Structure 1
Amino acid sequence: MTPPEVLEAFQFALDASEAVRGTTSPNPPVGAVILDASGQVAGVGATAPPGGPHAEVRALAAAGDRARGGTAVVTLEPCNHTGRTGPCARALVDAGIASVYYSVSDPNPIAGGGADTLRAAGVTVHPGLGADAVIHGPLRAWLHRARTGRPHVTWKYAATLDGRSAAQDGTSQWISGPESRARVHDERSRLDAIVVGTGTVLTDDPWLTARLPDGQLAPHQPLRVVVGLREIPTSARVLDDAAPTLVLRTRDIGEVLDALTDHPDVLIEGGPRLAGAFLAARSVDRVQAYLAPVVLGAGTTAVQDAGVHTVTEALRFRRERVETVGADVLLTLVPDRDQ
């Protein structure tokens, strides 16, 4: 049975991992906690931006001499290679750590193998702690990119009960409620990139920034990506200096994904044609559907031309989570790979 102090430390590590999500790419957003020999928290760390120390090294620095004879709790197997920083497995050994709990094995053949290094040095290793929470949480996108070689793509949209994302006259503010919009901004602040089509820029002139509840810009801003062949005006808000922007003159989804290789956590925000193109290319890995208790009766649908011509070709998804957000319902869905 896992000691209660280790379970508590895991939650701290998970929270630390989530707190840096979006700021560490192409490295994984890892969280680490060092417990001293008596089981007390001695240090907490998370992955720094590229070029900075990894989570274990930061936690060890915070713990100091209290790490000797203690326990490390980490969301990802400690790395075993020297890149811009040294191997975390060796740093744990050198610090005198006696046991290590980690959630998920490192799938990178270059960086993996840290557990073996730890065992060879006499450290007791416990793999798999809280693996499900990590796989479906902070490391979801990074693990997907490591496994598939491409970014993890979430399609987020807000729609009425009759599937409309805008009214007949084109107005769409606001279909979802204020709680949903606040949640979207919080999620944006942890993303690597937000993608929209040129049609959305021309119609809505979105800013695509992550904002705090008081309206100020969040400390981390994702890359804003505009996809399409149409020209957008130089006055478009998406081209200002509030966040970096990449304009891709293409409609090819493969080219878009190739351009975002170093941005594993990608959100598709608009509009219906772009969403349809990603769906048709089978390149949507998760759907976040905010359904509002509203009926319009006519207007723009949330998605167009997803490459489906008959019911037997329908793209099917399975429910991962259902939540209420204010007056709205948030459905989180993933593709049914068995279809």
Structure 2
Amino acid sequence: MSTGSRLETRLGALELPNPVLTASGCGGTGRELAQFFDLDRLGAFVTTSVMARPRAGRPTPRMTETPSGLLTAMGLPGPGIEGFLERDLPWLAEQGVRTVVSVAGGSVEEFGELARRLRGASGIAAIEVNVACPNVEDRGRMFAWHPGAAASVVRAVRAHARPGVPVLAKLAPDVTDIVTIALACVDAGAEGLTLINTMEGMAIDTGAAGRPGTLRPALSGVSGGLSGPAIRPVALRCVYQVHAALPDVPIVGVGGVATGLDALEFVLAGASAVGVGTTLFHDPTAVPRILRELDEALAARRIGRIGDVVGLAHKPAGYVPPQVRPEPPAPEPEAGEVKEKTS
């Protein structure tokens, strides 16, 4: 079986040639990554979250490294919907990229307006709803923290988005029960889920190598979003739990994907695709490598199609998917040879 058919996957109605996407906010406008590989090699490019108006983001410092991770508090900088529709989306379309547009807002109305503005634009494969945004009408509490609030945002986007364009809800892990919030988003019209957004954390600058440090929070916003390998076990747990509750809902697994085997873990937990994020900051060529490693991992395990092992970790021990080719039988000994005696 060819590599292409082995890696093909689906996110609801959206067909993808492979399951590797960028994670929102980690691929810039796409122009930055295009220096290192052809973007049409991606399953899809996920944009930085687009808001209604241009934003400069938070003041620096807004990034700091942590053990096995990265803390960021960017503040969603970007050109706003006007600039995105005028410059970024047309450029992505020219590259032949399947584009998933991430949207963010401070109110339900803003989310709905963004979906309405995108309705007439061409070149959009799906919309990802970043519900990990502060709700200005609810004392700044994140939409992602409450099932009703998250559902209201998804419902508004689904109502204004172009019919046939899948809507994915990107959920935050800093909640008591992510399954309840996932159920609410699906009931509100989400055709798929992205799990997970960053986890909230902080670091304090104590200095190093002769530098005394500020002895204050390392980020201007005090706390930020933790990403990278440090959160992969949490992301896998969330994917596994949500897939168990909603086995027919496609999931994009995000959180610390750095190798093909990382991607395979997410698929086995229940993801139909994965997002690559933090690793792109130190290895911008990671996507082609991860695709190659994932294909090699599938071939080594005699897996004919990646879709056949989505959620395999939920199956009982000994279960073999129909498309997994069995080991070939041992060759019969030639005439005159004696089989080795076994006890």
TM-score, with structure 1 as normaliser = 0.28
TM-score, with structure 2 as normaliser = 0.28
Asked which structure has the greater RCO (Cα within 8 Å, sep 6+), the reply is 2
Structure with bigger helix share is 2
